[in-house]
Amino acid sequence: MYLDDHGIDRNSTISRPVTYGVVSFISISLYNVLELNFLLLITFKRHNGLYFWSFFASTWGTAIYAIGFLLRDFHISSKITYLYVTLIAIGWVAMVTGQSLILFSRLHLIVRQHLVLRCVLAMIIFDAIILQIPTIVLFYGANSHQFPRFVDPYAILERVQVTIFFVQETIISGLYMYETWKMLYAEGSLNEVHGQVGRRLLQHLVYVNAIVVLLGIAIVVLEFTGRYASQTAARGFIYSVKLKVEFDILTRLVGLARRASDTEAGWAYTTDSPGGFWDSQTGDGQGKDGNLRRKSAFSCPWFVLARRAQREVNGPPRSESRSRSKRGGRS
């Protein structure tokens, strides 16, 4: 086989044990996509914005990608080669670039330095152009009647693009973790300022991002061990799991903002005296330094992050929408 890749050219057949794995991965991928579509429509009250459309594109891209490889691996549409090739190409672009844009949208919730955001977005666009266009061209060639000329270059580029996209997603996730850590420790000790909620949030983000990185490593390992059929099937499954993990992060942040909004009494957060209690009726309170003060606007960093996530899902608050409409009416 070419570069020891099993299943990379159009005439390849896969063994029975590999068939079981491929069918399992594709089936779970499609089930996850079905579940994610229901969750997207139920959770997002606002069906616009980069966050929503990135989720939508990556979710459907995963489904199209999985269906394309189902047709290819089992020679269901062997007489119409370009049907499954086109499905795989479209699905792969939407799935991979969509996942990176989801990570970028999540990073946008916490990072306010425009230079950092522009550099990350430029990296996503640059990698998409220099990697996805040549890969698609070689993929069409590797599945044409002249496949011997294209298979080796495609196998090499496949390894390169899998590695670079893994590094790209790891960089974005790493930036998000760093900015979250910096935000939670911005006003002093994590335990003193943010308490149990902040600690749990940070722990959850660490675990989730570790899972995402490990899943990416699994794709790279399968690619470099020459298991093309297994790797491509597992990739759709892994990306669908990544989407569910991202959705879990989003719903946790939205739930955090909702609980903080509904609470009747809680922490008053001020820069001069973080932590303290306020009376929900009078608005008076006592800071952690013992001095009495009036309740200030809730500006705890993790709460601000949760609020931004809630805006992505539900749109701006009603009061803000009304004020905008009033200003529009006056003008």
Phi/psi region, residue 239 (left: phi>0; alpha: psi -120 to 50; beta: rest), is: alpha
CB atoms < 10 A from the CB of 310, how many? 21
Domains and CATH numbers, the chain: 2-261 (1.20.1070)
Place of tokens 């429509």: 41
What SS3 state is found at 277? strand
pLDDT tens sequence for the chain (331 residues): 445 555 666 667 777 788 888 999 999 999 999 999 998 888 888 788 888 999 999 999 999 999 999 988 887 876 788 899 999 999 999 999 999 999 999 888 888 789 999 999 999 999 999 999 999 999 999 888 888 899 899 999 999 999 999 999 999 999 988 887 777 666 555 555 555 666 777 778 888 888 888 999 999 998 898 888 888 999 999 999 999 998 888 887 777 666 555 443 344 444 444 444 444 444 444 444 444 444 444 455 666 667 777 777 777 765 454 554 555 555 4
Asked if residue 306 lies in contact with residue 110, where contact means CB atoms within 8 angstroms, the answer is no
Torsion of CA 273, 278, 284, 286, to 10 degrees: -40
- Residue 265: C-alpha distances to residues 276, 281, 282 (Å): 11, 9, 11
Tell me, what amino acid is at 276?
G
